Amino acid sequence: MPEIKYRRVVIKMSGEALQGEEPSGISLDTLSYVCEEIKSIWDAGVEVAVVVGGGNIFRGGKEFSVFGLDRSVADYMGMLATVINGLALQNALEKLGVPTRVMTAIEIRQVAEPYIRRKAIRHLEKGRVVIFVAGTGNPYFTTDTAAALRSAEIHAQLLLKATKVDGVYDSDPNINPNAKRYDRLTYLDVIKQRLQVMDITAITMCMENRIPIVVLDLNRKGDMKKTVMGEEVGTLITT
């Protein structure tokens, strides 16, 4: 077996990653594919945690204030959407034989364990995939920030951001065919150039805790496993 470079990894994926070609909600084909990719690195012996968003169901945020919906209420609704996605991931992973635990920042004891840092680490040590849902449990914080926070708390060696593009570009590659893709960036590059990777809070937290970030295309089969094995895939953000 090739040597594993990153033995404890947090995967951050958006809710839209589970949407596939569906107008909203969860695509069962996409869900199955995503779980196969997660299983591939779990099979290699990597300790895997997942932070999932909820944008395919409901996206919180300040844009709802124009309709009279309080920002805090919208954010809590978005957190509950992540719980739905987390349960879907758990069910699909366990059908593949992967032991899984869902841990939530908002207590919903009937469907998920409350988040306790030491317990999460113990689950990882026992070979279980841990799915973190409900963000940080607080409004005004994104799931990107939740991913950075959980990465720091469980001492992850890598934060892997799975997106719809194969790295970080200087402009939107879907709009600008001449957009330049970066192989490597520093945290300060991302902040100074205002690159749309993760929010500034998440980037700063990773910088302060020296957690490298790899941005890659979730739809490119095998790239996740290549990354944890140390191959250069997507864009690496580090010191």
Q: Give a yes or no: residue 1 inside a domain.
A: no
Domain interval for residue 233: 8-238
For residue 220, give Cα distances in angstroms to 125, 165, 189, 233.
Answer: 28, 9, 26, 10
Write the CATH number for 17.
Answer: 3.40.1160.10
CA angle in degrees (0–180, nearest 5) for 47-231-135:
40
Q: Which residue's structure tokens are 């919906």?
A: 69
Q: Give a yes or no: residue 61 inside a domain.
A: yes
Q: Give a yes or no: residue 103 inside a domain.
A: yes
101 DSSP 8-state letter: E
pLDDT value, residue 115: 97
Q: Give a yes or no: residue 24 inside a domain.
A: yes
Q: What is the rounded CA–CA span in Å between residue 111 and residue 152? A: 25
- Sheet containing 235-238: which strands, arranged edge to edge? 113-114, 100-104, 129-133, 47-52, 8-13, 158-163, 213-217, 235-238, 184-186
Query: Virtual CA dihedral for 85, 86, 90, 93, nearest 10 degrees?
Result: 70
Half-sphere exposure of 158 (CA within 13 A, CB side): 25
Q: Give a yes or no: residue 120 inside a domain.
A: yes
Q: Give a yes or no: residue 2 inside a domain.
A: no
The answer to whether 137 and 79 have CB atoms below 8 angstroms apart is yes
Q: How many domains does the chain have?
A: 1
The tens place of each residue's pLDDT in the chain, 239 residues long, gives: 568 899 999 999 999 889 888 888 999 999 999 999 999 999 999 999 999 999 899 877 766 655 678 889 989 999 999 999 999 999 999 999 999 999 999 999 999 999 999 999 999 999 999 999 999 999 999 999 999 999 999 999 999 999 888 899 988 888 888 889 999 999 999 999 988 889 999 999 999 999 999 999 999 999 999 999 999 999 999 98
Q: What is the rounded CA–CA span in Å between residue 7 and residue 89? A: 21
pLDDT value, residue 21: 84
Q: Which residue's structure tokens are 């169901």?
A: 57
Q: Give a yes or no: residue 59 inside a domain.
A: yes
pLDDT value, residue 24: 86
Q: Give a yes or no: residue 3 inside a domain.
A: no
pLDDT value, residue 111: 94
Q: Return the closest-CA partner of residue 31 out of 18, 48, 44, 45.
A: 18
